[in-house]
């Protein structure tokens, strides 16, 4: 990491941006020095015992059974539309949320209700859309999860859908489009749910979104990838921190006439000398595994995804797509005039043997300035001498221990699910998960079918019914040369084991195993997870956008009798009626799995 990261500093790290923030990121202020720090919690609400969550704690409260019922509603209104910006200096058509990339921050306290109206103003051409609220449990509201063909029909062009759900977990997460690979084109944004923290800090810096970036549109990428004899290997063009990075415009492909500006502008952060800061890291990319560091500074991890953990200190945090980490950083290196590089590298571990990583420019940098540092000057700090990972894996399960202890229950059912890659009869390379390459039916979401008592589904929907089982164990065998960030909607699962080859039956710390909602499975390895089902239909898939597009996706029906009894709001059915009316008059070009 050290040598290569040093090279990127020389080539791509000019700190005085040549483009305005509006031209690089639209209405977003993330990554600028005017982006505000966050408060410890929102205060325009009741504060029993001085806190929105009263006496509940992160170390003594089971968040899956006890969460505050604040009665507070946080309203947001999002319009999704097309726009033209240049996040790294290369100008391209993108998708924006309220004119911004990344989209606006959603902020709430633990136990608040979040209401978001999503308006589909995507035109020229028109597309359907949905938005997924990553990591939320959606207890009793699975139709609010945001997965087309699974929990709802797409939002029709020119129409809107209003999502309503309780923030029953707290910490750092994000929202993103879940329609095809749409989110890789820009429909992403951070979410912060304030909650208790045993480990104190002085300043909440807020979200730091890490994302690989592509100069082609997601539609063109998927269409090329899924063409006969197309390559499943998708190569990103750059790597961004809070939607910003420079690009060497001499590397633009021959014949490409799109405007490109060198030194467009990188993200900047201000730290206060001697203070401890909370950084909320989010891998919001389409494929790459991120390796995050700050020169000279230790990182103390206090949460993985929505799960507070016993703190551990490291120099590098590894995040697969969809994963988050809350880290504490103390500004205690040098004097108040000091400045340092923040770095996030797309790991070469994502490449196959003898194949380079799937990125043309895998190094992202941002500038970190102490109080009195000159923000017009580039830092001169040196990168940590940390070799790149040879395997795409998360931190050792032995050190990622949840703060609130929960022993692993006995599994009442075990399902083995194999990952494989194949070519179909049309010479198109696709993914199979548990023997099926999934394709969604936008007109008939699985949840609505189950709610009507229909539990017989076409094979290509790749649905598994776990009936009334109280704890389901999933053994994932990865028979492919790529790593996969495995994400289960609506749950934090227990991570029992992860490693090479076949599982030997060993469980890591059964008294209190790691819990989270995304976990990396290494190439040609295994991942064993377990979850305590709550009623609904829940997607389980690889969070690499291109793999999900290629069919690496499944859905779990759990507690079907309870699902039949659910009172699904009429607005969900209305969204389907609108979609069917639209598709009866317009051809929807579903070029991939659909979700």
Model confidence, pTM: 0.97
Q: How confident is the model at residue 356 (pLDDT cuts 50, 70, 90)?
A: low
pLDDT at residue 411, rounded to an integer: 98
Calculated CA dihedral for residues 135, 534, 455, 489, nearest 10 degrees? 10
pLDDT of residue 264: 97
- The pair of structure tokens assigned to 103 is 């989209």
Is residue 389 over pLDDT 90? no
Give me 484's structure tokens: 């996969």
pLDDT at 455: 97
Q: How far apart are CA 383 and CA 115, in angstroms?
A: 42
Name residue 46's beta-bridge partners.
Answer: none
- What's the rounded Cα separation, in Å, for the pair 33 and 366? 12
pLDDT at 12: 64
Q: Is the pLDDT of residue 52 over 70?
A: yes
- Other beta carbons within 10 angstroms of residue 399's beta carbon come to 14
CA–CA dist 394, 318 (Å, integer): 6
Question: What pLDDT score does 4 carry?
Answer: 41
User: Residue 3 — pLDDT band, cuts 50, 70, 90?
Assistant: very low
**How far is the C-alpha of 322 from the C-alpha of 287, rounded, in Å?**
10
Residue 176 pLDDT:
98
Confidence of residue 253 (pLDDT cuts 50, 70, 90): confident
Q: Which of 121-125, 351-355, 447-451, 469-473 has the lowest mean pLDDT?
A: 351-355
The answer to whether the beta carbons of residues 132 and 159 sit under 8 Å apart is: no
Tens digit of pLDDT for each residue in 30-42?
Answer: 999 999 999 999 9
Closest CA to 393 of 273, 545, 547, 522: 522
Q: What pLDDT was estimated at residue 1?
A: 45
Tokens 């309870």 -> residue: 562
Q: pLDDT confidence of 386, banded at 50, 70, 90?
A: confident
pLDDT at 2 over 50: no
On the question of pLDDT at 392 being above 90, the answer is no
User: For strand 299-304 and strand 324-330, is the pairing parallel, antiparallel, or unpaired?
Assistant: antiparallel
- Give the tens place of pLDDT for each residue, 420-474: 999 999 999 999 999 999 999 999 999 999 999 999 999 999 999 999 999 999 9
Q: Is the pLDDT of residue 353 over 60?
A: no
pLDDT, residue 348, reads: 81
Residue 535 has pLDDT above 80, yes or no: yes
Q: Is the pLDDT of residue 46 over 80?
A: yes
Which residue has better confidence, 349 or 224?
224
pLDDT at 5: 46
């Amino acid at each position: 990491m050290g040598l290569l990261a040093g090279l990127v500093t020389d080539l791509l790290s000019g700190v005085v941006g040549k483009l305005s923030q509006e031209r690089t990121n639209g209405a977003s202020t993330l990554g600028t020095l005017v982006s505000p720090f966050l408060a410890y919690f929102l205060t325009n609400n009741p504060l029993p015992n001085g806190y929105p969550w009263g006496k509940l704690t992160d170390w003594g409260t089971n968040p899956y059974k006890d969460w505050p019922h604040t009665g507070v509603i946080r309203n947001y209104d999002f319009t999704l539309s097309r726009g033209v910006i240049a996040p790294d200096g290369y100008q391209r058509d993108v998708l924006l949320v309220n004119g911004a990339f990344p989209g606006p921050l959603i902020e709430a306290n633990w136990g608040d209700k979040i209401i978001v109206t999503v308006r589909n103003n995507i035109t020229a051409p028109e597309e359907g859309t949905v938005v997924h609220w990553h990591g939320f449990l959606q207890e009793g509201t699975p139709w609010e999860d945001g997965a087309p063909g699974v929990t709802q029909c797409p939002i029709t062009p020119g129409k809107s859908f209003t999502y309503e759900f309780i923030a029953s977990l707290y910490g750092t997460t994000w929202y993103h489009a879940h329609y095809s690979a749409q989110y890789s084109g820009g429909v992403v944004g951070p979410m912060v749910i304030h909650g208790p923290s045993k480990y104190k800090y002085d300043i909440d810096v807020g979200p730091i979104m890490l994302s690989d970036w592509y100069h082609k549109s997601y539609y063109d990428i998927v269409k090329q990838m899924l063409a006969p004899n197309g390559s499943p290997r998708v190569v990103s063009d750059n790597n961004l921190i809070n939607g910003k990075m420079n690009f060497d415009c001499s590397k633009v492909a021959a014949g490409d006439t799109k405007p490109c500006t060198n030194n467009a502008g990188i993200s900047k952060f201000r730290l206060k000398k001697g203070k401890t800061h909370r950084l909320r890291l989010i891998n919001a990319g389409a494929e790459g595994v991120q390796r995050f560091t700050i020169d000279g500074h230790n990182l103390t991890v206090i949460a993985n995804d929505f799960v507070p953990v016993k703190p551990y200190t490291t120099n590098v945090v590894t995040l697969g797509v969809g994963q988050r980490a809350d880290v504490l950083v103390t500004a205690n290196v040098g004097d108040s005039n000091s400045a340092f590089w923040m770095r996030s590298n797309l790991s070469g571990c994502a490449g196959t043997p003898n194949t380079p990583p799937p990125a043309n420019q895998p190094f992202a940098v941002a500038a970190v300035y102490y109080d009195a540092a000159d923000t017009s000057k580039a830092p001169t700090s040196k990168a940590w001498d940390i070799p790149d990972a040879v395997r795409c894996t998360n931190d050792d399960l032995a050190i990622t221990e949840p703060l609130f202890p929960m022993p692993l229950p006995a599994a009442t059912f075990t399902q083995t699910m194999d990952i494989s890659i194949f070519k179909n009869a049309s010479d198109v390379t696709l993914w199979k998960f548990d023997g099926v390459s999934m394709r969604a039916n936008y007109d008939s979401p699985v949840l609505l079918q189950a709610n009507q008592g229909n539990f017989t589904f076409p094979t290509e929907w790749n649905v598994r019914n776990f009936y009334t089982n109280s704890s389901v164990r999933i053994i994932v065998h990865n028979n492919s040369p790529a790593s996969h960030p495995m994400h289960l909607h609506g749950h934090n699962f227990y991570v029992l084991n992860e490693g090479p080859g076949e599982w030997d039956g060993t469980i890591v710390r059964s008294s209190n195993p790691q819990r989270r909602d995304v976990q990396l499975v290494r190439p040609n390895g295994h991942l064993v997870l377990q979850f305590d089902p709550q009623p609904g239909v829940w997607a389980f898939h690889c969070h690499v956008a291109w793999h999900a597009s290629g069919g690496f996706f499944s859905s779990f029906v759990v507690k079907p009798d309870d699902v039949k009894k659910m009172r699904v709001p009429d607005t969900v059915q209305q969204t389907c009626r609108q979609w069917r009316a639209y598709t009866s008059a317009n051809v929807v070009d579903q070029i991939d799995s659909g979700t």
